[in-house]
Structure 1
Amino acid sequence: MEGSYKKNLLQTFITDSNEALDLKLVREPFDVENDETTFKPEMSHQIFGENESIFGYQNLKISLYYTAGKLNTYLGITYKAEVDPKQFDGAIADDVMGAISAKLPPGYMTNLDDFVATLNKEQTFKPFGELLSTYSINKGSATERHFQLYSCTIEEIGFRSYHERLQTFLLWYVDAASFIDVDDDRWRFYLIFEKYPCDGGHRYAICGYATVYLYFAYPNKTRPRISQFLVLPPFQRLGLGAELLNVIYRSFLKDSNILDITVEDPSEEFTRLRDFVDSQNCKKLPSFSKEKLHQGFNAEMVDEAQRDLKINKKQARRVYEILRFQATNLADFEEYRAYRLDVKRRLNIPYQKEASDYKKLQKALNPEELRSTLSTSTKEQRIENLDKQYQMLENEYRNRRTSLSVMESDKGLALWLEMFHRFGTALLRGVPTTKGKIIEVVKRFAYVKETSYGVTFDVVAEPDPEHLAYTGTHLHHHTDMNYREKSPGMQLLHCLKSTDIKGDGSDPGGLSFLVDGFRAANWLKENEPAAFHILSATPVRFQISVNGMKFSQTWPIICTDNEGKVTEIHYNNRTMGPLQAPTHLITPFYHSYHLLTEKIRTESMQFAFHLAPGDLLAFNNRRVLHGRTSFDDTRVSRHLEGCYVDIDETMAIYDFLRNKV
């Protein structure tokens, strides 16, 4: 018993390092205590190991603060208790300060008062280098903001030490990050600053930066390569990433010595951004017109993209495929087929080379030597692999078609919200699979509604679950939180992980499904009017106990307005209580409920699909019923992050954008 107690107690000294670390860009003393100025790291394994955990502290909080302009740095930690080596067989706490300080340049502070005192010097800070561009958002409104983009070299006075502080952000946001050798004079630096009003004047806050290395390209050209690219979390989703990339492009366009611009080991997020920017720019070129896209990829596209935009041939081909996919009418069989064949011809090139190499070896080797030297795939295997490659690529291009347009443009957001308004559901693909990204998406159009489950909630199988959703059990069609005074109008689920561990080809389960409750109710109204009347006139109590708190509310299954139009559906067999009604109404009610349930479970009513990592599903919780098939949680690793939103906020921004766009 004592061993088990000690083991459980030790668990309380293990902290998630991502949750423990608070980052801030401090503009004024008030920001130090203001939780709204805090932002979290996306990763911490480069400091605290692959498990991203810290041992030895209870209620650990790490504070890593920077002044917004000069980047003067403060590092501090607080905790409730530290593990006692005498009590736990010599176990000692991790050296948190040592792990982080080893990556910080000299001069960081550990006294918070000293750090706050340096804010007085922020008024003298001016950005380094040459001003290349200005960028504004929300022009003409009370929330108007202004940004400036600069370029400089390491020779700029004071920039070397500034860059040493700036690059420490890479550790928390760029995987496999490494600090560059700034003594090489072929490095170029691009910086974004916000110019904000303060005390009757203006100050500057760093927003992000990029580094570019000027490689030699034979025989006498230069090929810039983008190495590091970071927009800090408080400034993401403002269009700054696209603006920074365009500024880098424009800085090289007029230089005839530049061959083209490449990227070093781009992340998924940067690849999405690059595809978006390059696609927008190539759209303006004559060779990428809609008519020419349907004629196929050609040398004119390569030449024009390289000459006018410094885009290399490989990226030009990718942009062509993205733009042609956007220009293809997927409902037109022949047009869609022509697109698929065009892409598959490119994907088939390695197999053609394989076949050519095989023929050459056939002439030089006997059959036994040939078998031991080269393994070739059959025609059926090649076709299967081609189909898989193509489908993955098309899914990627579909993502480009939606996620960036929603996050970077009002028009894209308006179209996505229109889909939600019309059909009660909308899917966003290609959302980075980082916990908390769902909040960034919501902030584009509303605020997250905090509930008894928290600001967000995690749907993941647990060994000792308190809720059926946290198992692999089949979840029947339902709407959420009918037991509240007003159930949330919009629900979002972001798939962070969905992995079939065994991967043996059989169906792993966990299929999500949606049903339009309005459609089912209207079918009932037309075909079983008596049942419709009973379900729309009979109040039903929904109730639940959450964390010791009891919630209870009464609704009809089908809610209608004064004209009989269906406005809401409240349906959940797990939280619906026994009917409280006169005896003669019991049988008619449950007969009507059975009719609706049968219709809802009809296959033709259901939209079923597997949520893939990066998918973010939004649906009207008062209209669309959702559920999932069962899955073996020892075989399938599945993690969804969810949240709720008040639907009137969503509809208000939709109406505003519809009129604006």
Structure 2
Amino acid sequence: MANLFDEEQGQYLRLNALKYLEKPPEVQREDDPFITNGSLAITYILVETIEQYKTGQGLKFQPSYVHQVFRQTNEIYGYKDLKITIHVTALGLKPYIQISYSEQTEDADDLNESFNKVYEAGYLTNEDQFIKTLEEEQNQEPLGDLIEQYEDFKIYKCQTATTNGFIQFKPFLQAFLLVLIDGVQYPGDENEWVYLILYENRQFIGLTTVCELNIAWDKQRYRLSQMLFLPQYQRKGHGSRMLRTVYKLELEDQKCLQITLEDPSEDFQVMRDITDSKILYEHFKDIIPNQVINSVQDIVDIPKDKLFEIMKKNKLHAYQIKRAYSIYLYAFINKKSSKLMTDFAKYLLREHQKPYVRKKNILVKFEDGSSMDPKQLHLLELKEREDRNINAEESLGEEFCLFELIATKLRKDKVI
């Protein structure tokens, strides 16, 4: 294995870890005045009261993705100086859409048709109707059961079958999923879907969807599907709070055996790693004390009996437990030693290669039904293994940037 580290590796990790917190800048077309970047043309404004609406206040943000509504390029064609303002009631998420532009071409995109795809339950185009809706919501409370509260924030649990009014509310909730999560797929209408909705006082802030999958007549597996927060509330600790609430629900559910996740984004994976590392810290320090690791002999894996104990107690997958443990080891390794860091990289490839490299099944058959002879197959397997190791070494560079970011956060929060 090539030496992945040098004397300046620590500084390299600290600088590159920051890129995981940066959002790529938006790009706006300037060569054609009739082509508009949809993410820049649309502004959402959440308002809780009539006074907020009339004074131009409220929570303002722009959609992250509109390619699922308009063109694949995120662009809207056929309007000059296009401006779309969508006022939304903060509690019930009822939208009032206002559209303005200075010129329109004959073949312009049909905006009404596009918004009909977003708002299946319809949307308001009349100001009086919107004001009346705001008045009605003043006497209403969030749907569902209050299950968690911290400061001014409250988490409510909703299900289609048991929460009155949720069937009518759900389409407006899904509209936010469409413009804030790339490639989103709406949760189904089945009873096993659970919605955890976060409010600040009476204003919608975000949500999490969880699917309860039956794996036996009396056993379930929780699958966390989506987690969404409005832009102003991202990276404020709400994701960790929400994840802990999901963990709390699964631990209280005697039928639940384990919680899993659909393909997590990079930002979510960082948040999950930090949360899990804080939860599992007490288990890890029983294996290796909180002290600098100077020897490769101190880089040891979790004993199997300890791993099974943690899995049973926390209902987490073995992979996520091992990942959190690897971050714990990384936090204490003497990073000034390039040899020790390279040995640690070898340890990850040896003990946890599967998460870093997806092994391909080698089964080569020809049209006549014959297959490679054993010698050819062996050579192909060796080539596959070599390619996997090369790819794994390359991926570990970025992985350690994430580890550095997470370890720094754990030190800042005085966990380690």
TM-score scaled by length of structure 1: 0.51
Query: What is the one-letter code of the residue matched to 1:157?
Result: N
1:143-158 aligned at under 5 Å gives the runs: 146-154=152-160, 155-158=162-165
Note closer, same or farther for the CA distance 1:357–1:219 as it changes in structure 2 (3 Å cut).
Answer: farther
User: C-alpha distance in 2, partners of 1:14/1:43?
Assistant: 16
Instruction: State the alpha-carbon separation in 2 of the partners of residues 268 and 411 from structure 1.
Output: 21
Contact kept in structure 2, 1:287 and 1:300, CA below 8 Å: no
**Aligned partner of residue 200 in structure 2, secondary structure:** strand
Q: 2:179 aligns with which of 160, 172, 176?
A: 172
1:251 to 243, 246, 249: 249
Q: How many Å apart are 1:10 and its aligned residue?
A: 8.5
Q: Equivalent residue for 2:20?
A: none
Per-residue deviation at 1:235?
2.3
Q: CA deviation at 1:124?
A: 1.4
Contact 2:45-2:58 within 8 A present in 1 as well: no
Alignment of 1:389 onto 2:410: no
Give, as a single letter, the amino acid of the residue that structure 2 aligns with 1:14. I
Match of 2:95 in 1: 73
Amino acid at match of 1:26: V
- Residue 52 in 1 paired to residue 59 in 2? no
RMSD: 3.4
Alignment deviations for residues 547-595 of structure 1 (CA, whole Å, 9 cap, x no partner): xxxxxxxxxxxxxxxxxxxxxxxxxxxxxxxxxxxxxxxxxxxxxxxxx
Structure number with bigger Rg: 1
1:18 is matched by which residue type in structure 2? S
Q: Distance between the aligned counterparts of 1:120 and 1:21, measured in 2?
A: 25
Q: Distance in 2 between matches of 1:52 and 1:171?
A: 13
What is the letter of the counterpart of residue 233 of structure 1?
A: P
Q: Which residue of 2 aligns with 1:192?
A: 198
Deviation at 1:50, TM superposition (A): 1.8
* Residues 274/288 of structure 1: CA separation in 2 closer, same or farther (3 Å cut): farther
CA distance in 2, matches of 1:347, 1:210: 29
Alpha-carbon distance in structure 2 between the residues aligned to 1:193 and 1:76: 26
Change (3 A) 1:304 1:123: farther
Q: Distance in 1 between matches of 2:231 and 2:61?
A: 7
For residue 377 of structure 1, give the secondary structure of its aligned residue in structure 2: helix
- What is the match of residue 121 of structure 1? 136
Aligned counterpart in structure 1 of residue 32 of structure 2, from 3, 6, 11: 11
Q: Secondary structure in 2 aligned to 1:132?
A: strand
8 Å Cα contact 1:287/1:301 also seen in 2:
no
**1:9 CA drift (Å):** 11
Distance 2:123 2:384 in 1: 62
Q: Match for residue 208 of structure 2?
A: 210
More strand by share: 1
Matched, 1:159 2:157: no
Give the alignment's TM-score, normalised by structure 2: 0.79
Letter in 1 for 2:169: Y
Which amino acid is 1:180 matched to? P
Report the 3-state secondary structure (helix = DSSP H, G, I; strand = E; otherwise coil) of the residue aligned with 1:168.
helix
SS of the aligned residue for 2:326 comes to helix
Q: Call closer, same or farther: CA 1:291–1:72 in 2, change over 3 Å.
A: same
Equivalent residues in 2 for 1:187-586, closer than 5 Å:
187-195=193-201, 204-218=202-216, 220-285=218-283, 290-291=288-289, 294-332=299-337, 335-346=340-351, 348=353, 366=373, 370=377, 374=380, 376-377=382-383, 383-402=389-408, 405=409, 411=412
- What is the CA deviation profile of residues 447-500 of structure 1, one whole-angstrom value per residue up to 9, with x for unaligned ones? xxxxxxxxxxxxxxxxxxxxxxxxxxxxxxxxxxxxxxxxxxxxxxxxxxxxxx
Aligned-residue sequence identity (percent) comes to: 28
Whether 1:28 aligns to 2:34 is: no
Q: Against the structure 1 CA distance between its residues 401 and 369, is the aligned structure 2 distance closer, same or farther, given a 3 Å change threshold?
A: closer
Q: Bigger shift: 41-50 or 100-109?
A: 100-109
Higher relative contact order by CA 8 Å / sep ≥ 6: 1 or 2?
2
Distance change (3 Å), C-alpha of 1:288 and 1:63: farther
CA contact (8 A) 1:306 1:312 kept: yes
Listed as ranges, the gaps of 5+ residues in structure 1 are: 1-7, 86-91, 137-145, 196-203, 359-363, 415-661
Q: Secondary structure at the match of 2:383?
A: coil
Name the structure 1 match of 2:24.
none
Compared CA separation, residues 96 and 388, structure 1 to 2 (3 A) = same
69 and 366 in structure 1: CA distance in 2 versus 1, 3 angstrom threshold: closer
1:135 corresponds to: 150
Q: Helix, strand or coil: the match of 2:155? A: strand
Contact 2:221 2:259 in 1 (8 A): yes
- Runs (5+) with no aligned partner, structure 2: 1-28, 291-297, 364-370
Whole-Å separation in 1 of the counterparts to 2:359 and 2:62: 48
For residues 327 and 319 of structure 2, what CA distance do their matches in structure 1 show? 13
Which residue identity lines up with residue 149 of structure 1 in the other structure? Answer: I
Aligned partners of 1:56, 1:354: CA distance in 2, in Å?
48
- Pairwise CA distance, 1:242: 0.9
Paired with 2:412 and 2:227, the residues of 1 have a C-alpha distance of: 26
**1:42 aligned to 2:64?**
yes
Q: Which amino acid aligns with 1:104?
A: Y
- How far apart, CA to CA, are the structure 2 residues paired with 1:345 and 1:219? 38
Q: Distance in 2 between matches of 1:383 and 1:180?
A: 38
- Cα offset, 1:319, TM superposition: 1.1
Tell me, yes or no, if the aligned pair for 2:46 and 2:58 is still in contact at 8 Å. no
> Amino acid of the residue matched to residue 165 of structure 2?
G
Greater displacement, 319-328 / 331-340 = 331-340
Q: How much does 1:189 deviate?
A: 1.5
Supply the distance in 1 between the matched residues of 2:354 and 2:238 (Cα, whole angstroms): 38
Q: Does 1:111 align with 2:126?
A: yes
